[in-house]
């Protein structure tokens, strides 16, 4: 599912641990030989409920949830064998609604589990363990392959449709004055905004909230003989099951009072003397609707809430934004939540990495790439615009930008280039120049991000012909790279190192295996018979 940004249903059905304790050897033979044969599974849970009272005295119990639930089903039993109900929802705790004392929780597991195993053994059935060290085994060989699960836009729309457009079925917020959960239309947000990793006050942990709400809803649908989502761990967290979930290619836009386009305020930069800098009058025309389509969910950008980024990430930094300034929030290359960081992730695609691996990000310089986002807006216009006027101006800027989807004409590109200035024991390199350019263009076909930032037909050429303006006839490599490394320009290799670094890095980043960089003859002619040509 999507990046990291979708609400993750963390941990198998949370502590639906109860089932582990009922089924004996027909569920899980815990002998070392049997465990070694168990295949990696997505329903592996750790029974560590005692952790809420302090450090564990023994290792957590490794437990296969779905395997136990399957055996219970064959015996005509269901989840309520181990889980109590509270307001039509199953408690995720085993045989209790809340954690009492340390001894009460411990007794709930030991009494019920061991009793069940003993009863099965007495009835001549294969029985589960009844001794401490067999359950609490720190050397368990069972391996979890659980996959995170999230609600992307496709699945979200399927739920909207199945619930008859009743968003209140899932979305709510806590009204402190009324002391209860309420639904406010137009203020729906991600569950993760309130439900954190651990329970905080009355807000359940994300794990508990998801499993309690989703499983209970699915179970009710099953009881009514309706089509429903999974009710066990493997249905959500097993890779194969996730791949089988139906994905909609087209569905209506998720409406939440969001704009189609917006003119994002840029951070005000000042000079050393406190005067407005070059970015002071620039803003970013942002196509919000298009970015909704590029991402699987709103949380990709709106990671804390669905308001404007500047509400938390101010110019100076604020506690609400963890003192991450708006400029950092938008330009931090190491964050997948920032604009630049997200774009950098796309550049890591093998189709792009051949060029971008050798292009360092320059956050302090106002480069041509900056101008692809930031637009000049006059002081008077900035001060007088209302939101509607700002949106109209943003749309004007967006419409005036024509994506560049091609490079120079074939007649402007040399078919082949002979690199013959570095021969020693190997001959020249005949570079299939036109074929390389065409291959790169084919791979970038349909890439809207590249089309937007490749602002000139010669931008693609700069992947190799760097540090010079786009041109049909860029300067020769030897113009900058001498026979040896430059003492005046640290980091600028000599011509031999420059060629090998550029070519080999590109091949490796793009996953090109036809050319073995360890085999010099794969590129170089075997003898000194290359025809002279510019390199």
- 136-165 pLDDT per residue, tens: 998 888 899 999 998 999 999 999 999 999
Q: What is the Cα–Cα distance from 214 to 219, expressed in whole angstroms? A: 9
Q: What is the Cα–Cα distance from 22 to 27, expressed in whole angstroms? A: 9
> What CATH number does domain 261-400 carry, 3.40.50.300, 3.30.70.260, 3.90.10.10, 1.25.40.20?
3.90.10.10
Residues written for the chain: 535
Highest CATH level, class, for 410-522:
alpha beta
Q: What is the Cα–Cα distance from 412 to 474, expressed in whole angstroms? A: 12
For residue range 344-372, list pLDDT tens digits in order: 999 999 999 999 998 877 766 667 778 88
- Residues 441, 444, 448: CA angle, nearest 5 degrees: 130
Give the per-residue pLDDT at 427.
84
> CB–CB of 13/108 below 8 Å?
no
Give the per-residue pLDDT at 16.
35
- List, by residue range, all CATH 3.90.10.10 domains of the chain: 17-135, 153-243, 261-400, 410-522
> CB–CB of 42/144 below 8 Å?
yes
Q: What is the Cα–Cα distance from 128 to 120, expressed in whole angstroms? A: 8
Give the per-residue pLDDT at 194.
95
Give the per-residue pLDDT at 39.
78
Q: What is the Cα–Cα distance from 200 to 174, expressed in whole angstroms? A: 13
Q: By three-state DSSP, how is residue 204 classified?
A: coil
Give the per-residue pLDDT at 281.
62
Architecture of the domain defined by 17-135? Alpha-Beta Complex (3.90)
Using alpha carbons only, how large is the chain's radius of gyration in Å? 31
Residues of the chain with pLDDT under 50: 1-36, 270-278, 528-535
How is domain 153-243 classified at the CATH fold level? Answer: Cytochrome C3 (3.90.10)
CA atoms within 13 A on the CB side of 330: 21
Handedness of CA 84, 90, 93, 99 (dihedral sign): negative
For 101, other C-beta atoms within 10 Å of its C-beta total 9
Give the per-residue pLDDT at 380.
59
Q: What is the Cα–Cα distance from 202 to 216, expressed in whole angstroms? A: 19
Q: By three-state DSSP, how is residue 62 classified?
A: strand
């Amino acid at each position: 599912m999507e990046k990291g940004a979708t609400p993750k249903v963390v941990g198998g059905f949370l502590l639906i641990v109860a089932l582990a304790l009922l089924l004996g050897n027909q569920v899980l033979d815990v002998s070392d030989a049997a465990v070694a044969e168990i295949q990696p599974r997505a329903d592996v849970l750790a029974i560590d409920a005692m952790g809420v009272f302090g450090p564990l005295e023994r290792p957590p119990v490794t437990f296969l949830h779905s395997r136990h639930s399957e055996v219970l089903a064959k015996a005509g039993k269901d989840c309520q064998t181990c889980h109590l109900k509270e307001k039509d929802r199953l408690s995720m705790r085993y045989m209790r609604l809340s954690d009492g004392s340390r001894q009460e929780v411990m007794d709930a597991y030991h009494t019920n589990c061991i009793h069940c195993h003993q009863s099965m053994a007495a009835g001549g059935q294969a029985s589960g363990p009844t001794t401490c060290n067999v359950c609490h085994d720190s050397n368990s060989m069972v391996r979890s392959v659980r996959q995170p699960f999230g609600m992307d836009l496709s699945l979200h729309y399927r739920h909207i449709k199945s619930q008859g457009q009743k968003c209140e079925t899932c979305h709510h917020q806590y009204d402190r004055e009324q002391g209860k959960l309420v639904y406010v239309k137009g203020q729906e947000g991600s569950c993760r905004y309130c439900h954190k990793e651990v329970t905080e006050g009355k807000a359940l942990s994300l794990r508990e909230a998801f499993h309690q709400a989703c499983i209970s809803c699915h179970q009710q649908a099953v009881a009514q003989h309706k089509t429903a989502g999974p009710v066990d761990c493997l249905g959500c967290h097993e890779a194969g099951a996730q791949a089988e979930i139906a994905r909609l290619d087209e569905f209506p836009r998720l409406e939440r009072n969001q704009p189609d386009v917006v003119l994002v305020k840029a951070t005000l930069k000042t000079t050393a003397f406190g005067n407005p800098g070059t970015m002071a009058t620039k803003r970013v025309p942002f196509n919000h609707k298009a970015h909704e389509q590029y991402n699987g969910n709103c949380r990709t950008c709106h990671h804390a809430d669905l308001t404007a980024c500047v509400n938390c990430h101010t110019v100076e930094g604020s506690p609400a934004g963890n003192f991450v300034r708006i400029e950092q929030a938008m330009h931090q290359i190491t964050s997948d939540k920032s604009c630049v960081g997200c774009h950098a992730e796309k550049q890591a695609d093998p189709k792009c990495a051949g060029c971008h691996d050798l292009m360092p990000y320059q956050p302090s310089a106002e480069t041509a790439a900056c101008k692809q986002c930031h637009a000049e807006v006059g002081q008077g216009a900035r001060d007088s615009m209302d939101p509607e006027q700002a949106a109209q101006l943003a749309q004007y800027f967006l419409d005036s930008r024509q994506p560049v989807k091609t490079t120079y004409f074939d007649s402007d590109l040399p078919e082949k280039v002979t690199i013959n200035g570095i021969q020693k024991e190997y001959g020249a390199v005949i570079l299939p120049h036109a074929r390389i350019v065409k291959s790169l263009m084919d791979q970038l076909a349909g890439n809207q991000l590249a089309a937007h930032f490749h602002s000139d037909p010669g931008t693609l050429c700069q992947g190799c012909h760097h540090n010079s303006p786009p041109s049909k006839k860029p300067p020769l490599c030897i113009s900058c790279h001498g026979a040896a490394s430059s003492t005046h320009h640290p980091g600028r290799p000599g011509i031999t190192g420059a060629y090998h670094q550029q070519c080999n890095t590109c091949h490796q980043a793009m996953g090109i295996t036809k050319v073995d960089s360890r085999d010099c003859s794969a590129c170089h002619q075997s003898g000194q018979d290359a025809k002279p040509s510019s390199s």
